[in-house]
Copies of this chain bind each other. A is one copy, B any other.
Amino acid sequence: MSTLPFLVAVDWGTSSFRLWLMSADGTVLAEHRSHEGMSEVAASGFETVLESHLSALSVPEQIPVVICGMAGSRQGWVEAGYLDTPADIATIGENATLVPGTAREIIIVPGLAVRSLNEPDVMRGEETQLLGAYFDMPDGARYCMPGTHSKWVTMEGSVVTGFETFMTGELFSAVTGKTIVAYSTGGEGPVDARDPAFASGVRDGWTRPELTTHHLFSIRAGQLLHDTRQEENRARLSGLLIGAELAGAGLRGDEEIGLVASGALQRLYHAALSECGAQIRDIDADVAVQRGLMEAWRSHSAKTGDRKRA
């Protein structure tokens, strides 16, 4: 196990910043997490925020940085473009964008885009998790990547042939924050994946997704008429939205799904996928993104090396 710093890997999302100092064999030597997501950091502030973390860890200037996530969007640090599907994620490193004018070498990997006219779609950050997850399921797979904007991805080998985003997490926040259902779901406590109301919500959402907006109102009516508990109502709401996502993704009951997730979302989606009979391969999202960033760096430097040799 090496302890020499080799690479700084950063997943820089809309609302979170995660940085890992890694050795050449992939060992995580140090980790920093903060809420300095893209929406907190003004365009000019990205380098300041990054260097403050690097100086706290005394990372020498010759150690490069590879970044994925919304920092590469138009509203981010430097726009890193998209690879269009079908897209070989093994190429995200060689298609990364160099951040200009910094002392240190810093690259941002591109996102992926479905450039269809009817159902366009985009991702930023998940492509890097997929590159890390790919080694676990190299023959191709369907992946479920839960989040504010959940992604369902089909891969053949290392090629993403298509994906679909579902606004499940953001709708949960909007419904519990800003609608009449908020009166029935209460505060911000976590949903218990073992709550029977979660499982019944998943079943109803999966089998009757067209009734989702009716079922949401029914949560409020249930509280008025049957005095249902807030925890139960939150669990049912979460189950309904996740179940409808599984229906929208066209999940088949016995399908093998790579679940790329961690923490509370991993528990909820694992329970939901089980409820619907899926065969689940659990893939830790943090490990996947670390591995993906390392792989992206390697293919980037291989290309740069080729160019230098040429």
Which residues in A have some Cβ–Cβ distance to B below 8 Å? 74, 82, 113-115, 117, 119-122, 149, 164-168, 170-171, 173-175, 177-181, 209-218, 221-222, 224-226, 241, 244-245, 247-248
Contact = CB atoms under 8 A, between A and B. Distances in A.
A275 B275 CA distance: 37
Total copies of the chain: 2
A36 to B, nearest CB: 19
A183 to B, nearest CB: 9
A120 B175 contact: no
Most buried by B among A177, A214, A215: A214
Contact of A119 (B174, B213, B214): B214
A225 B120 contact: yes
Given A174-B179, A178-B177, A214 B248 contact: yes
A245 B213 contact: yes
Given A213-B245, A217-B165, A226 B120 contact: yes
A244 B212 CA distance: 9
Listed from nearest, the 6 A-B pairs whose CB atoms lie closest are A209-B210, A120-B221, A165-B217, A210-B247, A174-B174, A210-B248
A264 B82 CA distance: 39
A70 to B, nearest CB: 11
Contacts of A168: 213
30 contacts: A74-B224, A113-B221, A114-B221, A117-B226, A120-B226, A121-B214, A121-B217, A121-B218, A121-B221, A122-B221, A149-B180, A165-B214, A165-B217, A167-B179, A167-B213, A167-B216, A167-B217, A170-B179, A170-B180, A171-B213, A174-B178, A174-B179, A177-B178, A178-B178, A209-B209, A210-B210, A212-B212, A212-B248, A213-B248, A214-B248
A242 B178 CA distance: 20
Contacts of A226: 117, 120
A119 B178 contact: no
Contact of A166 (B113, B175, B213): B213
B114 A165 contact: no
Contacts of A241: 213
Contacts of A214: 119, 121, 164-167, 248
Contacts of A210: 209-210, 244, 247-248
A175 B115 CA distance: 23
